[in-house]
Structure 1
């Protein structure tokens, strides 16, 4: 936004002499959102916080072998949070344009679909969002294999790998606040990102299995407080607590407009069948407090 006017960044590729959105290719094993944040930085020199997803683009192209193939490109609305702005990777110009100018400048019809989605979301006050990432702790040592206090049961090797893999995922969303069950398996799931980001996690007994059993309302209260703050937040808890966490989010789902049916289906699947261990459910929230509305959802399962 500049003086209340929505602006978007387009890039010019001298190789093709075209104007388009920043984009690129996935590295091996890379999450889509991680690639989106990385490619944006590489092409524009700008660090961004990813927001709500935008429509995908599908089109045919010839592979290096000359065989037709289907190309899928995924997009997200993003907000600039930093960066140096130097152009270093196949881009010779970046321009910020209002939506009318951008519509004219874009060289490909399929790129205008994302622009239209941005305008619709902006008109509905659902473009400026912040993320609430609900994370189930990663794979821990089995209860039968642990003889000590269950609250001190550690992650196993696969769980530690998943905890490390969550770093770029949470970084892409610009998570700046962390709430976690004090149980070691939750703390160790979220700690690698916390260390990377320089954030002190906030232990909450109400997010633990024991605390939830003693007072089932506490988990919902923690969600409500996070919604009141309106700050990019990750909340790490346990499978048996997820129902209460998602129950607190459920009334905030905005079930109107494009993608509402898919969002509801995604949410119901997570609520009824639980998140996988190490999975993150990212809720894109517009507004805060009583006005907070979840306008989009994304699931990031364990690979």
Structure 2
């Protein structure tokens, strides 16, 4: 069976005079109104493609928010044969006005949700709109991401005689670190916290360089620091939850289950996807996150009011 054609997109949203509006795009080739979306480039991560396609089709700069329902439908492939297209979507608050349009889009139109529902040409696109409205009514449309990252593949312990904290990434690990940078950028991550171990710090370093941001290290996120004071790891995560700033933590396999269980306590039981979010966190803690994996938790609110509304897992290519 032919693999589905992967595509990604967003539902850009904003508030104007207190009213929720979403951005639709018009494709003159098909004379239809839909969401900004497009096919993944070879080797591209879904979230990276969603941000890129949104920028290309709407000229809007966005950071991804909570994931939305996807869609699957039949299209014709390059050979003119029927194929399934799989599209993944995210809510995305617009952070800049639209500029000149590129690609095959000739108009971007901001509409309130009722007008948008009427204007959309495909019934499947209303699934994302309904999810946006539900989240807005629940007060969880505005979210911020907290990413947990397990360090990328490093030189093996058996072949490293020096201080284990200075054990570096290998070639595979450095390549994955480079791939993690645009993934974190897609979510608008701005604060970076890491174990001081070189293999963790170097996993986030390419993104820190891209962002021009400081990379903060915490002993409590290292294997050695966690063994000495297990509560410190969750303390560091709690400080980030208090801040409510888009952030990433890079740590080790033995430490991450502690952080995952701290996130589990924040799952909002009233969320439609609460069971899936909880199951994803438990599975990641039980089976251990893969090296170079990025788990993104979407939270609404901060501090004592923080509620976890969705979880995504992004694994490196096998």
Q: Which residue of 2 aligns with 1:190?
A: 204
Q: Distance in 2 between matches of 1:59 and 1:115?
A: 17
Q: Tell me, yes or no, if the aligned pair for 1:175 and 1:234 is still in contact at 8 Å.
A: yes
Q: Cα deviations across residues 90-136 of structure 1 (Å, max 9, x unaligned)?
A: 11111111101111111111111100010001111111100000001
Q: Which residue of 2 aligns with 1:220?
A: 234
Residues 25-64 of structure 1 aligned to structure 2 (within 5 Å): 25-64=39-78
Using the size of structure 2 for normalisation, the TM-score is: 0.93
* Unpaired segments ≥5 residues, structure 2: 1-14
Q: CA deviation at 1:84?
A: 5.8
Q: Which residue of 1 aligns with 2:170?
A: 156
* Unpaired segments ≥5 residues, structure 1: none
Q: Cα deviations across residues 32-51 of structure 1 (Å, max 9, x unaligned)?
A: 11110000000111111001
Q: Which residue of 1 aligns with 2:12?
A: none
Q: Distance in 2 between matches of 1:82 and 1:194?
A: 23
Q: Tell me, yes or no, if the aligned pair for 1:25 and 1:35 is still in contact at 8 Å.
A: yes
Q: Which residue of 2 aligns with 1:119?
A: 133
Using the size of structure 1 for normalisation, the TM-score is: 0.97
Match of 1:141 among 155, 163, 179: 155
4+ long deviations beyond 4 Å? none
Q: Which residue of 2 aligns with 1:268?
A: 282
Structure 2 counterpart SS, 1:239: coil
Q: Tell me, yes or no, if the aligned pair for 2:154 and 2:199 is still in contact at 8 Å.
A: yes
Structure 2 counterpart SS, 1:202: strand
Residues 1-303 of structure 1 aligned to structure 2 (within 5 Å): 1-82=15-96, 85-303=99-317
